Amino acid sequence: MTAQIISGTEVAKQIREELKQEIAELKEKHNVVPGLVTILVGADPASQVYVGGKEKTSKELGIYSERYDLPAETTQEELLALIDKLNKDPKINGILVQLPLPKQINETEVLYAIDPKKDVDGFHPVSLGKLMIGEPDYIPCTPHGIWQLLIRSGVKVDGAEVVVVGRSNIVGKPIANILLQKKEGANATVTVCHTGTKDMSFHTKRADILIVAAGKAKAITADMVKEGVVVIDVGVNQIGTTSEGKRILAGDVDFETVKEKASAITPVPGGVGPMTITMLMLNTVRAAKLAAGLTEEGE
């Protein structure tokens, strides 16, 4: 068996086309223009790439975009004052503060300061609480991307044994919560493994769907999965560079060996990664519709 490749690049492209049409209709029929602001503190190269990608995608889809590049020595008080101003700005539907932040700034306080109605990253405790009870306004972007990959690839989640490796607030906990909800595209039995799990293989071998966000290159090998498993690899790890200086990337799954046992698998790169920014755009459009009264909370 050689696995079907689940292409996040292709699925993201499909969703972006849908969003482009929806944004055009919002402008034409309701005079609503979704607005997203990104805030970058410092000059971390990876963060600059991420923020640039978000800004570029916003413009391509017709989303109004603002960007704040703040110096690394920005104080917490200055950042909170900017967030407060943006919370009150009706042109802005979504506020995204790029993480990580410099050491002098408390990330938790910053995330809590964002108006939950503009929390398009889905990290505010109000957003996560609504997700847990099955009435989310905004689903965190990477877990939402994983869910869409499963749904749009025709993977049967209802009744499946899902094993999630990793328990972060950004990926592991939210995707586990999404998939155990009694809803279409979910209703799975979910096990979450982590650094305290005694026998990882015991759990991963039971998985019909294996979602790996461990943060360790090639942590999941072929002997740890069963035939026919669907594998979603969230990890992006640099394992070297080419002679031209380009990064060599690997996921948290040993792709070359696991793909021979899996029925479907995401590649790295080109799997979960392209979905994350796309889901941010989807959340921004939803935020604009909520602000305009064009949809209900928790729908």
- For residue 54, indicate whether it is catalytic: yes
Alpha carbon distance 212, 190 (integer Å): 13
Q: What is the largest CA-CA distance in the chain?
A: 56
Q: Which residues contact 288 (CB under 8 A, 6 or more apart)?
A: 26, 32, 33, 34, 35, 93
* Angle made by CA atoms 221, 224, 228, in degrees to the nearest 5: 100
**How many Cα atoms are found within 13 Å in the side-chain-facing hemisphere of 184?**
3
Whether 267 contacts 250, CB under 8 Å: no
Task: Report the C-alpha gap between 95 and 78 in whole angstroms.
Answer: 16
**Which helix (H) or strand (E) is 130 found in, with range?**
helix 125-132
Whether 98 is catalytic is yes
User: Is 69 in the active site?
Assistant: no
Active-site hit among 54, 173, 218, 261: 54
Catalytic residue among 119, 121, 137, 208: 121
Look up residue 138 and give its amino acid.
Y
Nearest to 212 by CA among 238, 239, 185, 230: 230
Distance between CA 125 and CA 102 in Å, rounded? 22
Neighbours of 146 (CB within 10 A): 29
Positions marked active-site? 54, 98, 121
